[in-house]
Structure 1
């Protein structure tokens, strides 16, 4: 790593959930000593525009310490020698999930995820689809067996969120917490029914 900083790769694929990706980028960029390395699929650009507006993808790219084009297979994040604290794919489309599950590294996002698996580094996949068919479930099983964490972006309704932002914040914080970047968790801990 570079000095005392940690590197985190954020991959964004073309599924619904652009707001979650943006919030994860914002939260990681705000952490002291953490570098954000970003790769975005082509279909994610249109999802961002549709869900958040034309300038949203530019805001996400502006948060990154380093932005990589999806076809840049020679990028630093494509190599296991480029050490990171982990990778989050948010949202993770079923196409990207299938590529990661089978090791079909035909773009930089899937290659970077494959590197995290082979190097035994944390890989968190916010898989976005519903309902799921057997092929989706088998791909989720395959990536779990190789070391990834499948984290569908499911709201924590027990927290009684008041706004969509509350839901997005909690999902983003929980995903980042899985990388163990901070001493204290970003998501508010559940302390049981008596302590909440």
Structure 2
């Protein structure tokens, strides 16, 4: 029997029903390429959005979804794990599970509300609740415009709890030439926050540093 593959890190990644499925999919691709194991959760609304915004139409069952995302991300068998919406025995559902960051990308305003109030009505919400109570890294990527007072209050509340709110608002100082460049801007920031090496784009000031280094 072959030994199970070893991975550099485990990252929890949740897709919810905001626009911007491309951000989460590109992040999944980069995490796989970086040698991470990715534990994925997908809401029903996220499946609808993903099918609308991309060519990827995920099947309904977690097992079939896992196979589809494994193929799409060119991952090794077992590198991408998909857990169902009410799989309360999944590692992200408990503080005694593996200590791993959680990225919700994209993060709907409904998910923001649920996390801010501790609703825990499904696995994604429970995983966020665990991340907050255990003081684990939690990064939320909302994609909405404009933000209402309720949205802003929820983001402020979550920030005070320790979450990082990273709106899907790409910059333009890197002179993007395509939609993919705009997506990579946000994904690069996410990878930086996770402490994962990335070459999607240079960090601010790197050119100045390189220019000052001796030959």
Same fold (TM over 0.5): yes
1:191 paired residue number: 205
CA displacement 1:64-96 (0-9 Å, x = unmatched): 521001121232210111223311100000000
Q: Which structure 2 residues correspond to residues 177-188 of structure 1 after superposition, within 5 A?
A: 177-182=192-197, 187-188=201-202
**How many matched pairs?**
193
Alignment counterpart, residue 80 of structure 2, candidates 59, 65, 80: 65
> Is 1:12 aligned with 2:29?
no
Greater C-alpha radius of gyration: 2
3-state SS of paired residue (2:112): helix
RMSD: 2.3
Alignment counterpart, residue 79 of structure 1, candidates 94, 107, 110: 94
1:128 paired residue number: 143
Alignment counterpart, residue 92 of structure 1, candidates 93, 104, 107: 107
CA displacement 1:137-194 (0-9 Å, x = unmatched): 0000111011100000111111111100001012112112211134x67642011896
Give the stretch that moved more between structures: 156-165 or 58-67: 58-67
C-alpha contact (below 8 Å) 1:39/1:109 kept by paired residues: yes
Give 1:51 shift: 0.4
Q: 1:118 to 1:181 in 2, by over 3 A?
A: farther
Q: 1:35 to 1:21 in 2, by over 3 A?
A: same
1:52 paired residue number: 54
TM-score by length of structure 2 reads 0.82
Distance 1:129 1:56 in 2: 23
C-alpha contact (below 8 Å) 1:85/1:179 kept by paired residues: no
Q: 1:187 to 1:148 in 2, by over 3 A?
A: farther
TM-score by length of structure 1 reads 0.89
Mark the runs of 5 or more structure 1 residues left unpaired by the alignment: none
1:159 paired residue number: 174
